[in-house]
């Protein structure tokens, strides 16, 4: 028999509705290659199962994440981007439930940031010292620094930079 797959329909054994093939998940073990339940019935069935078996559902989730760390990270990134509010709320709850882990995470984060900052300062201070006395070059450097996002952090880290900023950048702003 020759048939057009696109228009072929099938009756869902659960809800009894006749729906197009695209409304059924594939199942190679079946003679027609389709799941006997339509997609919406399958989804409802799965949701009911999850509700009735929350522990098993969590356990499956844990196993899947462990077996597919890359996919999980990717899915999580997408979810977090689409649900910033929920993501914040989840982080807040996690911090409350895991205060020690959260403190360690914060320490790691702060250490990383302060290392980044001090390496930027190390990069710039010698430049200032080298240019000491060359007012034109110092002014140019101050302008470049002022445009940088991390400028305030740099000022906070180094008196030399703050001094430079006051002398050449803020002074000019006031004038």
Q: Which residues bind Zn ion (CB under 5 A)?
A: 12, 14-15, 38, 41
- Residue closer to Zn ion, measured from CB, 34 or 138: 34
The CB-of-57 to Zn ion minimum distance in angstroms stands at 22
- Residue closer to Zn ion, measured from CB, 38 or 161: 38
The CB-of-10 to Zn ion minimum distance in angstroms stands at 10
Which are the contacts of 70, defined by CB distance < 8 A and separation ≥ 6? none
- Residue closer to Zn ion, measured from CB, 27 or 74: 27
Instruction: Check: CB of residue 169 under 8 Å from CB of residue 142.
Output: yes
- Residue closer to Zn ion, measured from CB, 19 or 95: 19
The CB-of-41 to Zn ion minimum distance in angstroms stands at 3
Positive or negative CA dihedral for 78, 81, 83, 85? positive
Tell which residue, 175, 151, 116, has the closest CA to residue 164. 151
The CB-of-17 to Zn ion minimum distance in angstroms stands at 6
């Amino acid at each position: 028999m020759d048939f057009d797959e696109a228009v072929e329909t099938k009756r869902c054994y659960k809800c009894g509705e006749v729906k197009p093939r695209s409304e059924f998940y594939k199942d190679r073990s079946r003679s027609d290659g389709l799941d006997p339940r339509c997609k919406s019935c399958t989804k409802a069935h799965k949701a009911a199962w999850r509700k009735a078996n929350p522990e098993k559902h969590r356990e499956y989730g844990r196993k899947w994440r462990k077996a597919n760390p890359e996919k999980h990270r990717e899915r999580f990134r997408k979810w977090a981007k689409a649900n910033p509010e929920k993501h914040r709320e989840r982080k807040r709850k996690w911090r409350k439930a895991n205060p020690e882990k959260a403190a360690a995470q914060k320490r790691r984060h702060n250490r990383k940031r302060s290392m980044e900052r001090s390496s930027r300062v190390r990069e710039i201070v010698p430049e200032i010292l080298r240019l000491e006395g060359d007012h034109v070059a110092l002014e140019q450097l101050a302008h470049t620094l002022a445009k940088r996002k991390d400028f305030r952090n740099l000022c906070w880290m180094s008196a030399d930079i703050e001094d430079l900023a006051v002398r050449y950048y803020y002074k000019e702003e006031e004038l």
